[in-house]
Structure 1
Amino acid sequence: MSGPQYDPLPLGTDHRDDIPYNGPHSPGMPPSGFHTPETEPLELHEEDLGAARPRFMGQALNDEGPQPRTSYASSGYSLPLSNDNQSSVYGLNPTGQNRDTAYYSLQYRDDPHDADFNGSNANVGMNQDGMRSSPYLSEKRDAYLPHKARSRRRMWIFGGVAVVIVAVIVIVVAVYFAVVKPHSNNDSVSGGASKGGSKGSDTSSSSSPQATNKPTTKVAVTGGDGSTVTMDDGTTFVYKNSFGGTWYWDENDPFNNGAQAQSWTPALNETFKYGVDKIWGVNLGGWLNTEPFIVPALYEKYLNTSNPAVDEWTLSQNMAADTAGGGLSQLEDHYKTFITEQDFAQIAAAGLNWVRIPLPYWAIETRDSEPFLAKTCWTYFLKAVQWARKYGIRINLDLHALPGSQNGWNHSGKLGTINMLNGPMGLANAQRSLDYIRVLAEFISQPEYKDVVAMFGVTNEPQAPIFGQENLARYYLQAYNIVREASGTGEGNGPFISFHDGFKGLPAWAGYFTNSDRTSLDIHPYLCFSDQSADGYDKRATQPCTAWGPAQNDSMGAFGMTTAGEFSNAINDCGLWVNGVNLGTRYEGDYPGGPWPVIGSCDQWTDYSQWDATMKQEIQQFALASMDALQNWFFWTWKIGNSSVTGKVESPAWSYQLGLQEGWMPKDPRAAAGTCDSSDPWAGPLQSWQTGGAGAGQIPATFSASYAWPPTSISGGGAATLLPTYTQTGPIPTLPAPTFTKSSGGTVDAGLGWANTADNSGMAVPIPTCSYLDPWVGSAAPPSPLCSSAARRDVPVPPAVITPAP
């Protein structure tokens, strides 16, 4: 090789080779297992040896003749080369360029193991001659001057040291503020996920590189226990799942269903065998459909106004008026923070494989003076679908609040009267509710979503004792037909359809919907709202077994798939606003509608900081009995928010998450098996038609005729022909799909929001020549005449009243 010759380089062992080295390295270059001067920039050797050898010298010690030098990073003394940062190209090329974009890399390679070195890449054409002509070779040679230039060399060395020190300081400061400090707040998260930590070994492929000058960053797209998860905002946490669960998320393949919540739960791309595989789920109550006792801090802010917040209707009115406090957008702040991706990771890590997500109708639209924040919560439901897919969790979508209110309780949107299937607007509100069922069914039946949103609860807690089981059955049959038209019949098309028992009890539905395609009966068993008792958990440990177990077993045979969509650990109605804002409790004798005998103070049931290990074990035993008795269940609810007044959870018996953290919920739901020691357990499997097999969808014509839609009369309203109804001519508010952008550019097809293009009838909207009452009117006389050339008239909405429990 021409040019100045190198000084003789000493062979042998450095006198400090036995000292482990933990100093700085090139980015991406792991430290070697022994000390070598090449790894320490500007380390000086013995006085007579001249300047320190730079870290890319490598095997030049042993190479003979005019052959290229193997870099240190590719030598036999270190780990294999895995990126350009480990070769001298990193040191020679300007920061931020990689070997395919840097100007000098087109002319220079110093690694003979590189395929491009010998000219194998015709575009680059790198060879030894190219190396000789590199302008950087002369700079490398100039570092090794003859001994006669030693004094001048020292000046350059010390000057270089000063420059490097300044550069290191700048880099350290930049790294601290850009990387270290933002991640210093990643506190540990219990229940299956914690922030921070190192990347796990369970990785798949990397994202496709973008056409930028930055080196491609490999991000794990799958992993198991101990792996590092990267979230949408770029932050990471360590996934903790001791049950064999695996997550999967690739921005280039956002509809991949390879994730699995636990080893015993089928992955999303596998068949969930209803009646064999167990549904062990939890509700995400209070998130997209708020309830005062679940998120008290939202309501406490507006407790003392002239229009106190007691439901989402009045909460929305107060927020909208509070422009200084953030206005109605405060609800979106709640959506962003109350449930996050890490909750889904924790749910899978808790051994749970389903979530039931309450969603209000205003996720689709609002009309007239309805004050709710329209459409926004749908955006966060789509996030829930993405997170559920990522962690292998299936979703039961529950339509929780309907126009006019289906039960008069605060979680239906407005506390007060029942106006769905009841009252003068009962039929019109039912029409509108069925439309919203249709819009949701069309979306979730699309192939991109059907394996994640696998169950659809068409109406939460309708008050059949008020408007009758017959009319509820008519409404359910119409909803069934709508969902199946959206999805098509046959196994795997569209969701399992869940019908709440309407507070009529499981036996009342035996024999209904025979041969229906994948229908499920939903019951919400609670012990806390009946007669109150001073007995503790120790005396009530097996009560769920006798109260719920036999009926659940019988219904699995008499109806088919039966789930408990809600239950809790509460054995009394103690807890802040469990019954409603400022409505008191039965336990303390101050709940309206009494008289209620005073049992005692609720403090012992709400101050969980005073619960000892014995009480926590008793609560856990109660939880295990509940799980075993109900078999397929969704606990209500995953999370209870802190009160802004006390700063803590005031209804602890209702929070699964808090129970895991504090030790009264089982870490493994499989531990519930056999708790009830039932002598008459249900023995499956379900019949073929109940799971979408032979005969599914062939409902007897006599049943369809007996429960035809619409009803002939409406409770509290009279004959259907005398009541306001809508016409199916309105535009369809198709729900928007999420947007996924590939790392290489372009978007992924996320569906059009409508599974069945042949389903094209319009939405139920008012007839211009007919008169209507306010959808939330309550008790009132129907308009007369019902339809004419008269203008539409509305009756003011009455004040809220309490609807008694069934």
Structure 2
Amino acid sequence: MSYFSSDTPPLGAAQPRFLGAALYDDPSNGYRDSFASQNTQNTFRTAPSVVTSSVYALTNDTPQAEQSAAYRDDPNDPEYNSGSGQGGNSNSPRYLAEKRSAYAIPRVKSKRGLIIAGSILAAVIVLVAIVVPIYFVVIKPKSSSSNNSSGSPSSPTSTSTSSSGQPASDVVTGGNGSTITMEDGTTFTYLNPFGGTWYWDPQDPFNNNAQAQSWSLPLNQTFRFGIDKIFGVNLGGWLTTEPVSYAPALYQKYPTAIDEWTLSEAMAADTSPGGGLSQLETHYQTFITEQDFAEIAGAGLNFVRIPLPYWAIEVRSGEPFLPKTSWTYFLKAIQWARKYGLRINLDFHALPGSQNGWNHSGKFGSINVLYGPMGIANAQRSLDYIRILAEFISQPEYQDVVIIFGITNEPQGTPIGQDALSRYYMQAYNNVREASGIGEGKGPFISYHDGFLGLPQWAGWLPNADRTALDNHPYLCFDGQSSAPMSSYAQTPCTTWGATMNTSMNAFGFTAAGEFSNAVTDCGLYLNGVGLGTRYEGTYTPGTWPVMGSCTPWTDWQSWNSTMKSSIEQFALASMDALQNWFFWTWKIGNSSTSGVVESPQWSYQLGLQNGWMPADPRVASGTCANQGIWSPPLQAWQTGGAGAGQIAAAVTSSYTWPPAQISNAGAVSLLPSYTPTGTVATLPPPTFTYSSAHAVKTASAGDGWENPSDTASGMVGIASCSYLNPWVGTAPPPSPLCSSGAAARAVPAPLITPVPRHQS
């Protein structure tokens, strides 16, 4: 989320075309029931989605048959529920017809025939008694399933224990009302009124059969950008901390902490019992848990956006952050998202040096990416981290869960300049596509933040790029303040954001709101930062702000009446309809350690659900804005990886060579500190899943962290004979001389001409 230091709103608002109903079934028709929701103690296993599975081989002849014979969530389907048995499938006419054609009933003509038939039956029973155990103990563990539509490989399956050492449960799937047992042995009841089904089998940890809701595609089917709607929520404050999202347990304990940098320093200096930097891992363990993912699916949401900092990969000298640990919890997030059928937008939230100077970038203060004397060096390092993350999530084990990669959160485009930002974006595109395979439909959608330059500034940018998206963060609360009641904002999102989003879907391609909230004022604990006050009460610094009133009516949610709650819900519905594809900021806000309650209530989706100002079903937002001018699908084929994807014209790519010649507030790149590609590139470790096979415990294949073995370029590191400033230096003259004469030539590479992308039809 962003914290503006002026009253100038981000550019991009224009007169809207109103929005209409989204592409959903008429709710008046009712939503489909589901077998899983009726069978609250569900112990069945859903059929694997791959043509190589043994169950598939028994009941299907073609891949098309697999689609029609797969598990259905509609118990009223006559084809699958015409029999008298449980579950419908085993007694359906089609199922029985297939079995009868395969196993014809013998005609018995005499006692001799009965004896022969009995002997054959006995032999069959003996044979089955021998073959079935051999299959499940020996053959099946050696097979590998590819539980997604692209046929990507998965880990071996057999009897197993989970990575935490807990015994594997016989129950691997379930629906509404089923009991979930977490890794620590605690349980909760899965509540999902939308026909969603969870799936987790530690014997088969990359199975993608889970489905968040009956109307959201399961993970083993390809999400259709521009057709399927993104109903998402951010997990803000979890793996990248910031004061507003988790004030009580962290920031209020240390009065000097204003960002994760100073928080980390304060924790490391705290040698008392309960102190130390390990408190951050306790936060990772407790703030967001598996149950949150289950609740998100049960709230009708199908995506999570997870902010991740660069120190999940590594830190360098002088950087106080807890290194590599948050990556472990991102891996847990992938596992939990897979279990509940949720898809992930990986948001690279905090870059070395800071891309915006705000507290959520790691260090409050100055911009040092693409800006200032360390601007090029920090950008080089950031591009390495983008490459490393792209290599990991492009692996077949993860590509159907992590399907969007937001390469840089909220860079400040105005001071950086759109030219330098565009060149950086182009090079990031190359890195991601090199990792995932250009033109092959692999790897994530690449999401670019608009840099607060406004969506129209990116119209027509990078035509024919392979699967790119534009990210916008529309907030009202950081603009000029108003004492108008919440009810007066009922249609504001429609008239402020709707037309801009519609236009961008045509002019750029897929466009989504990576962040928005219900806040219309900047009231809230630490919302602007620690000790910075609020515009609404006239206490915000810097600047002079007129007093609008007290923030108490906007934060004392326990006193809100039904009118206030319904007004907030109306604003949320209008926002959802206007933005069309969105991620609310944020799922959860922690309690204040002084008051014991949430003090930024309009930012918490979970609190709104619990107290009646967020919709229990986000689909009801459809039509909140007037039924006219809504963008009509589909996107152009190349925008979703179809014909022409990746065929960027050479004239276009030559306009965005890397690096830029100039860096804002610093000058010529050739005169600035720069890194050289001679270092070792980090490889992110995969999770560990163990299973038992042939009386031995083995480790399931989880990938090696690097999808493209041909991507062998070295990492950006400093040159021993060169001088470098602190990456977080802010405004300072560059060191002189930068390097010895020999090293100077190596420090700044020649501009990279982006090659014409490879394409495989």
**TM-score interval (norm. to shorter):** 0.7 to 0.9
Determine whether 1:739 maps to 2:671: no
Correspondent of 1:292 among 243, 260, 263: 243
Alignment check: 8 A CA contact 2:160 2:203 kept? no
What is residue 610 of structure 2 aligned with on the other side? 661
How much has 1:701 moved relative to structure 2? 1.1
Contact 1:258 1:268 in 2 (8 A): yes
Verify: 1:320 aligned to 2:243, yes or no. Answer: no
Tell me, yes or no, if the aligned pair for 1:572 and 1:587 is still in contact at 8 Å.
Answer: yes
Cα distance, 1:702 vs structure 2? 1.2
1:462 shift after superposition: 0.1
Work out the CA distance in 2 between the residues paired with 1:209 and 1:659: 40
Aligned to 2:733: 781
Residue 721 of structure 1: how far off its partner (Å): 0.5
Q: Judge conservation of contact 2:489–2:571 (CA < 8 Å) in 1.
A: yes
Match in the other structure for 1:251:
202
Aligned 1:28-427 pairs, distance under 5 A: 208=159, 219-304=170-255, 308-324=256-272, 325-427=274-376
Decide whether the 8 Å contact of 1:770 with 1:786 is kept in 2. Answer: yes
Q: Structure 2: how far apart are the matches of 1:387 and 1:593?
A: 42
Give the partner amino acid of 2:675. Answer: Y
Match of 2:562 in 1: 613
Q: Structure 1: how far apart are the matches of 2:569 and 2:357? A: 33
Give the secondary-structure state (helix, strand or coil) at the position aligned to 1:327: coil
Q: Partner of 2:282: helix, strand, or coil?
A: helix
Confirm or deny: 8 A CA contact 2:516 2:584 kept in the other structure: yes
Give the 3 Å change call, closer, same or farther, for CA 209–383 of structure 1 in structure 2: closer
Is the alpha carbon distance of 1:209 and 1:359 closer, same or farther for their aligned partners in structure 2, counting shifts above 3 Å?
closer
Counterpart residue number, 2:54: none
Letter in 2 for 1:515: N
Given that 1:624 and 1:669 are in contact with CA atoms closer than 8 Å, whether structure 2 keeps it comes out as yes
More off after superposition, 242-251 vs 783-792: 783-792
2:278 alignment partner, SS class? helix
Q: Identify the structure with bigger relative contact order (alpha carbons < 8 Å, sequence gap 6+).
A: 2
Residues 719-769 of structure 1: per-residue CA shift (max 9 Å, x gap): 010011101111111000000011442110000000001111111000111
Query: What code does the residue aligned with 2:238 have?
Result: W
2:433 pairs, out of 472, 476, 484, with: 484
Distance 1:601 1:209, change over 3 A: closer
Quote how far apart the aligned CAs of 1:554 are.
Answer: 0.3
User: 1:635 is matched with which residue?
Assistant: 584
The answer to whether the Cα contact below 8 Å between 1:545 and 1:629 also exists between their aligned partners in 2 is yes
Q: Is the 8 A contact 1:637 1:654 kept in 2?
A: yes
Q: Which amino acid aligns with 1:500?
A: H
Q: 1:567 to 1:120 in 2, by over 3 A?
A: closer
Distance 2:332 2:218 in 1: 19
Number of the residue aligned with 1:566? 515
Tell me which amino acid in the other structure corresponds to 1:419: N
Matches within 5 A, 1:788-803: 788=740
3-state SS in 1 of match to 2:354: coil
Unaligned runs of 5+ in 1: 1-114, 125-205, 211-215, 793-806
1:531 positional shift: 0.6
Root-mean-square deviation (Å): 2.1
Q: How much does 1:613 deviate?
A: 1.2
Q: Secondary structure in 2 aligned to 1:742? A: strand
Q: Give the equivalent residue in structure 1 for 2:402.
A: 453
Structure 1 position 217, deviation (Å):
7.8
Per-residue deviation at 1:262?
0.6
Give the SS at the match of 1:702: helix
Q: Give 1:298 deviation, angstroms.
A: 3.5
Identical counterparts, % of pairs: 68
What does the per-residue CA deviation read over 1:378-434, in whole Å, with 9 as the maximum and x for residues that have no partner? 000000000000000000000000000000000000000000000000000000000
Structure 1 residues 354 and 419, CA gap change in structure 2 (3 angstroms)? same
Please state if 1:434 is matched with 2:383. Answer: yes
1:706 aligns with 2:677: no
Kept in 2: contact 1:491–1:693 (CA 8 A): no
Equivalent residue letter for 1:732: V
Question: Deviation of residue 789 (structure 1)?
Answer: 8.0
C-alpha deviation, 1:703, in angstroms:
1.4
**Cα contact 2:387–2:435 (8 A) shared by 1:** yes
For 2:228 and 2:270, locate their aligned partners in 1 and report how far apart those are by CA, in whole Å: 48
Per-residue deviation, 1:233: 2.2
Q: Normalising by the residue count of structure 2, what TM-score does the alignment of the two structures yield?
A: 0.75
1:252/1:742 contact within 8 Å kept: yes
SS of corresponding position for 2:447: strand
**CA drift at 1:594:** 2.1
The structure with the larger Rg is 1
Question: Contact (CA 8 Å) 1:607, 1:650: kept in 2 or not?
Answer: yes
* Counterparts in 2 of 1:530 and 1:120: CA distance versus 1, 3 Å: closer
Shift of residue 301 of structure 1?
Answer: 4.0
- Listed as ranges, the matches of 1:523-602 within 5 Å are 523-602=472-551
Q: Which runs of 5+ in 2 are unaligned?
A: 1-120, 131-156, 162-166, 745-761
d(CA) in 2 for partners of 1:647 and 1:413? 26
AA paired with 1:260? Q
Aligned to 2:665: 716
CA-CA distance at 1:208 after TM superposition = 2.4
CA shift for structure 1 position 235: 2.5
Task: Give the length in aligned residue pairs.
Answer: 587
Shift in Å at residue 219 of structure 1? 2.1
